[in-house]
Chain A
């Protein structure tokens, strides 16, 4: 962290979902270290408290919310509480989402209940939170929304049909919303990470991790902080003419 970078987000309020671990945690900390006050949301309330303490240690205000973003009532209540505490949201990072993980299977053997869960948590939760944040941003004519997609939305991933579909849905949502909100100075972009060292990555079998690393021209698996730097760029004034974009952070794996 260098001196000039402190303060890019001074006086701004950022909301990060899925903030207890990995990319969400790294992004929340990055925004806080550059001056933002943070609302951090996660289902895992205990882990989230640790992140909240780190943000406080950086000298920022923090509001941890233990909530399941697939529960519409919980999300509505959370945004009401955020409005009451901070009055506005400058940056919304819709990071929450997941694959079917241990329930993942090839499509021919899959179950509808599983896809519905994956699409709910990876696409609908993003739309729901954005819907509750966006009216105020539009009226104030200022705001930044960053949505989490993935490289597998583009290349397709065996055994993750539902996840890839949901994350390509995030890209369609990003592009359409960006177009609607461009006249109102609200920018909407997506980040599409590749191989990043997160819990989801660590759960993969050794041989899969080796195969992925060998397919990355840069030859390494990146850290959550490598994505957080891109999220911070998109949330900053430096990206004010960038909207509707889906940005790969994959060490040169796809170059599409």
Chain B
């Protein structure tokens, strides 16, 4: 029985864990071939093996998305292995740095060391821009439409302590819109997902801190954390033909968090 992404080839950055891995597995279950990339090579390998175990083709690539050339190489390797790229999910990202792992107290914008601030922007914003550029350049050059899906956050529209995370995610959303406008005539759709508080490795410190957890769930009308599968379900929708008239949008699988 054909799936909703039958015959499609998807590149997923940050595919070694969390939301990226869930997207890889869900897309494969709908028929896609998956190129899994991650800074964490063993995580990417693990996801690729799981995709293969489900009977679909996959490859794993260690990729540092903060280097533009690495993104170009990632797309080239996918095209070499599978012949094309139809869908990109830019899920590689990092959370807000904290003074130390055990500390409940976040940095402020005034005291966050600027190299740590910059590293968040590098991964969360430049990584997305570089991977989008690499995929879209191939699509435009080969006159082939596609769907680019970027991981923003509810923090794309909300301030948060330290600034770096919210600023990077707000940038992701605006980059999504700028690219959507440029690429519409090439039949390339560009959308963002702005998840709420999801059970991922990134949110583990938040979820294990009673005060911060109370704050997060207090903002969430559904009163629970989301699952990575629920975010992957939204990515699937955006990758599918059901979203054919959708571009420049951000969808919020967030349990109803108000983001304006």
- B246 x A182 contact (CB < 8 A): no
Q: Chain A nearest CB: distance from B49 CB in Å?
A: 23
Of the candidates A219, A222, A244, the one whose C-beta lies within 8 Å of that of B256 is A244
Residue of A nearest to B187 (CB): A218
**Interface of chain B: mostly helix, strand, loop or mixed:** loop
B184 & A218 in contact (Cβ 8 Å cutoff): yes
Q: In the bound complex, how far is the Cα of B254 from the Cα of A230, in angstroms? A: 17
In the complex formed, the residue of B with least CB distance to A233 is B237
In the complex, the answer to whether B243 meets A252 with C-beta atoms within 8 Å is: no
Indicate if A243 sits at the interface (CB-CB under 8 A): yes
Most A-side CB within 10 Å, residue of B180, B236, B245: B245
Q: Is B52 an interface residue (CB 8 A)?
A: no
Residue of A nearest to B249 (CB): A248
A212 nearest CB across to chain B (Å)? 13
- Contact A219 to B185, CB < 8 A, known contacts A238-B236, A239-B233, A241-B230: yes
Partner of A229, one of B177, B221, B244: B244
B contact residues around A175 at 8 Å (CB):
258
Q: Does B223 contact A (CB under 8 A)?
A: yes
In the assembled complex, B207 has its CB within 8 A of some CB on chain A: no
Tell whether A229 pairs with B242 under 8 Å between CB atoms, given A182-B221, A252-B180: yes
**Interface stretch among A1-9, A59-67, A120-128?**
A1-9
Contact with A along B1-36 (1 / 0, CB 8 A): 111101000000000000000000000001000000
Q: Which of B30, B246, B256 is in CB contact (< 8 Å) with A4? A: B30
The count of chain A contact residues (Cβ–Cβ below 8 Å) is 36
List A residues 237-251 near B (Cβ within 8 Å).
237-245, 247-251
Asked if A52 is an interface residue, CB under 8 A from chain B, the answer is no
User: Is there an interface contact between A243 and B222, defined as CB atoms closer than 8 Å?
Assistant: yes
Contact flags B182-206 to A (C-beta < 8 A → 1, else 0): 0011000000000010000000000
Residues from chain B with a CB closer than 8 A to the CB of A113 are none
Within 8 A of A (CB), among B221-253: 221-223, 226-227, 230-231, 233-234, 236-237, 240-249, 251-253
Check B256–A250 contact: CB distance below 8 A: no
Instruction: State in angstroms the CA–CA spacing of A112 and B3 once bound together.
Output: 52
- Are A217's CB and B180's CB within 8 A? yes
Q: Tell me if B181 is interfacial: C-beta within 8 Å of chain A.
A: yes
Q: Given the complex of chains A and B, what is the CA–CA distance between A15 and B222 in angstroms?
A: 24
Indicate if the CB atoms of B237 and A183 lie closer than 8 Å: no
Determine if B177 and A255 form an interchain contact, defined as CB atoms under 8 angstroms apart.
yes
> A242: which of B236, B242, B254 is its contact (CB, 8 Å)?
B254
A145: chain B residues at CB < 8 Å are none
- Once the chains bind, are B253 and A229 in contact (CB under 8 Å)? no
With contact pairs A178-B221, A183-B221 given, residues A3 and B180 touching in the complex (Cβ less than 8 Å): no
B242–A4 touching, CB < 8 Å:
no
* Docked pose: A238 CA to B230 CA in angstroms: 7
Whether B223 pairs with A182 at a CB distance below 8 angstroms is yes
Pick from B184, B244, B258: contact of A217, CB under 8 Å: B184
Please tell me if the beta carbons of B234 and A238 are within 8 angstroms of each other in the complex.
yes
Q: Find out whether the CB atom of B249 lies under 8 angstroms from the CB atom of A244.
A: no
Question: Is B255 an interface residue, CB under 8 A from the partner?
Answer: yes
> Is the C-beta of A179 less than 8 angstroms from some C-beta in chain B?
yes
Task: Report whether B251 and A247 are in contact in the complex, using a CB–CB cutoff of 8 Å.
Answer: yes
Q: Are A252 and B6 in contact (CB under 8 A)?
A: no
- Which of A4, A239, A241 contacts B196 (CB under 8 A)? A241
Q: A: which residues have CB within 8 A of B? A: 2-5, 175, 178-179, 182-183, 217-219, 222, 226-227, 229-230, 232-233, 237-245, 247-252, 254-255
Q: Would you give 14 A-B contacts (Cβ < 8 Å), ordered by A?
A: A2-B6, A183-B223, A222-B244, A229-B244, A239-B233, A239-B253, A241-B255, A242-B234, A242-B251, A244-B256, A244-B258, A245-B251, A255-B180, A255-B248
Q: A182-B255, A219-B184, A238-B236 are in contact. List 16 more A-B contacts (CB 8 A).
A: A5-B4, A175-B258, A183-B223, A217-B248, A226-B244, A229-B244, A233-B243, A239-B233, A239-B253, A241-B227, A245-B251, A245-B252, A248-B249, A250-B245, A252-B181, A255-B249
